[in-house]
Amino acid sequence: MKVFGSVADLEKASGEKVTDLHKHIVDKITFKCEKCAGIMQRVPDVLDTWFDSGSMPYAQMHYPFENKEKFEANFPAKFIAEGVDQTRAWFYYLHVLSNAIKERPAFKNVIVNGIVLAEDGKKMSKRLNNYPDPSLIFDKYGADAMRYYLLSSPVMMADNFNFAEGGVVEALRKNNMVLWNVYKFYEIYAVETQDFASLRTSDNVLDKWILFKLEQLIFEVTDKMNDYDLPRSVRPITDFINDLSTWYIRRSRDRFKGESTPSPLEGEGRGEVGGDKEAALATTKYVLTELAKVMAPFMPFIAEQLWQKVTGNDFKDENKSVHLEEWPKMQLTITNDELKNNEDMELARKLVERILAFRDEKGIKVRQPLQSVNIRKHSTEWTPDDQIRKIVLEEVNIKEWKFFGDDVKSSDNYWAEYSFKNSDEEKYSFQLAIDFSLSEELILEGTKRELVRSINNLRKNANMSIQDRAIIYWQAESEMVAKVFAEMAKELKKDTLSNEIKNEKSEGVDIVKEVKVNDEMVWLGIKKV
């Protein structure tokens, strides 16, 4: 028996030119045996074709006849990927041949995907038509949503996975739509911002917090990518986008508008309003730019669109792309101040969540201001940064942050108490006491907030932008509503971007609606100036 390792060897032995290695051609090649003078013919059996697949590392480089140095520099492979059905096929034969030839494994890392099944758990079948057309999914929701949905699913950990179109919709809603809303908000107020290098000088706790969260994101995604753990690499992106949108951007809205005011807890405040606006814009620009880089391997299309828009390149230079940028570098050291600021902010969010739940249980809307909340951490007073205290009070719409005294439980007002630990299960037990009594002044302010909300909803329905000014028309029998319009007209005009407020009905308005405010009907009309 003779085994040939190359076409050249076969041609030399047979004296024939070999141009086709298909079985029916090679079977016809014969030659005399060097030992017995008999005629040698090809063995009719065929070797398992997986040996061909397992020979891929050598065949693709024509090794050992060519590219020896290149092969040795790249073998074994750092990473391969295939389905779980290849465990006893390609993966196995790669190692069999590699150990036989090179005495070492064929690859160092592998990502194994499971099988994508129909939503009912059955095998996807054209005959049964039990799965959506992928091209229609791409057209409807975009490739990024599909990519995120699958990358974050158990199918990337070798488990079978029931594909549901609703999962793609959720990925689109939580990632692409939320992120693009963040960008569109930033775009409205974007101006020439300071250099990124000076961002960490911001005194604003929200800036410090979101930059800390960004560092956490970069670390976590990098760490899991190094472990070839795709689901745990992509999932933190959704959490970060949620933090960016629902906390940082929402709590910074007045800063973007240049309307942020010093905290009543701070006395004269911390710096100029204009500087605070610039810090918010610069921080957001930096965060969006770095976030685009982190998202690029997983959601390449929205990452590119975001990066092009935020950097100002806007596809003008075809040689510039987020996919040509270096991977974000992590901050090497985290200071104690940064750790404390992050911890205080996370605890503040927990407090807000609990206080809002208490308000809901009591049936008092968030737009209705309350007078005071008493907060105590464990056995001592919690004294976070004044800015964080201001954020908590504004978020829950409460006027005062009081110390927890002995007279709290004896109060005739409605109080509630609650204790909890933070997400890391550290020993931070809190007690809360909330004064739910409503003075006429508080009710007046709550009514104003209800009116502002109703008027701004009318502006939205009339497709008015923040550049548009309006005249507000109103009619109501409620004395409280009339008092709000009379005594708080200046604030109403500011909060609704209005030039005038008139107590009359007019047929020349752009949009009208009757709304209920504190169980009283109010006729509202808006006319664009």
Q: For residue 309, is pLDDT > 70?
A: yes
In a domain, 126, yes or no: no
Spatial contact of 363 and 428, defined as CB atoms under 8 Å apart: no
Q: For residue 36, is pLDDT > 90?
A: no
Same-domain pairing of 410 and 479: no
In a domain, 157, yes or no: no
Residue 343 — pLDDT band, cuts 50, 70, 90? confident
Same-domain pairing of 290 and 201: yes
Amino acid at residue number 99: N
Whole-Å CA distances, 354 to 351, 429, 526: 5, 13, 37
Count of structural domains within the chain: 4
Residue 254 — pLDDT band, cuts 50, 70, 90? confident
- Res 132: pLDDT: 87
- Res 121: pLDDT: 87
Tokens standing for 323?
């996919």
Residue 183 burial class via C-beta count within 10 angstroms: exposed 0-12, middle 13-18, buried 19 and up: middle
In a domain, 213, yes or no: yes
Which strands, in side-by-side order, build the sheet including 470-476?
498-502, 470-476, 520-528, 511-517
Question: Where is 163: in which H helix or E strand?
Answer: none
d(CA 172, CA 146): 8
In a domain, 45, yes or no: yes
d(CA 189, CA 465): 13
Same-domain pairing of 382 and 495: no
Specify which residues 40 forms β-bridges with.
31
Same-domain pairing of 211 and 304: yes
Same-domain pairing of 311 and 194: yes
Same-domain pairing of 312 and 208: yes
Which strands, in side-by-side order, build the sheet including 398-402?
398-402, 370-377, 430-435
pLDDT mean over 168-173: 96
Asked, as a colleague might, if the bond just before 105 is cis with ω within 30 of 0, I would say no
User: What is the DSSP-derived secondary structure letter of residue 328?
Assistant: P
- Res 409: pLDDT: 54
- Res 417: pLDDT: 54
Same-domain pairing of 199 and 315: yes
Same-domain pairing of 502 and 445: yes
In a domain, 86, yes or no: yes
Asked, as a colleague might, if the bond just before 64 is cis with ω within 30 of 0, I would say yes
In a domain, 49, yes or no: yes
In a domain, 110, yes or no: no
Question: Where is 24: in which H helix or E strand?
Answer: helix 23-26
Burial 303-317 (b: 16+ CB within 10 A, else e): bbbbbbbbeeeeeee
Same-domain pairing of 426 and 446: no
Is this structure's pTM higher than 0.75?
Answer: yes
Query: Where does a domain end: 92, 111, 130?
Result: 92
Same-domain pairing of 253 and 372: no
Say how many C-beta atoms besides its own lie within 10 A of residue 487's C-beta. Answer: 12
d(CA 163, CA 131): 8
In a domain, 115, yes or no: no
Say how many C-beta atoms besides its own lie within 10 A of residue 414's C-beta. Answer: 13
- Across 364-451, the runs of DSSP E, i.e. the strands, are 370-377, 398-402, 430-435
Over the stretch 442-462, which tens digit does the pLDDT of each residue have?
999 999 999 999 999 999 999
Q: For residue 264, is pLDDT > 50?
A: no
Spatial contact of 497 and 468, defined as CB atoms under 8 Å apart: yes
Torsion sign across C-alpha atoms 349, 354, 358, 361: positive
Q: For residue 419, is pLDDT > 70?
A: no
Spatial contact of 399 and 445, defined as CB atoms under 8 Å apart: no
Q: How many CA atoms lie within 13 A of 484 on its CB side?
A: 26
> 431 phi and psi, to 5 degrees?
-120, 135
Tokens standing for 91?
């993966």
As a whole number of Å, the end-to-end CA separation of the chain is 97
Pairing between strand 80-83 and 398-402? Answer: unpaired
Query: Where does a domain end: 324, 356, 383?
Result: 324
d(CA 423, CA 123): 40
Which residues, at least 6 apart from 17, have a Cβ–Cβ distance to it below 8 Å? 11
Over the stretch 448-505, which tens digit does the pLDDT of each residue have?
999 999 999 999 999 998 889 999 999 999 999 999 999 999 999 999 999 999 999 9
Which residues, at least 6 apart from 323, have a Cβ–Cβ distance to it below 8 Å? 296, 300, 304
Same-domain pairing of 308 and 288: yes
Average the pLDDT over each of 85-89, 184-188, 200-204 and give the range with the smallest value: 200-204
Burial 466-485 (b: 16+ CB within 10 A, else e): eeeebbbbbbbeeebbeebb
Nearest CA to 434 out of 392, 476, 477 is that of 392
Q: Supply the range of the domain harboring residue 471.
A: 441-528
Same-domain pairing of 306 and 195: yes
Specify which residues 502 forms β-bridges with.
473
- Res 268: pLDDT: 34
pLDDT mean over 102-115: 93
Query: Where does a domain end: 63, 92, 121?
Result: 92
Spatial contact of 146 and 138, defined as CB atoms under 8 Å apart: yes
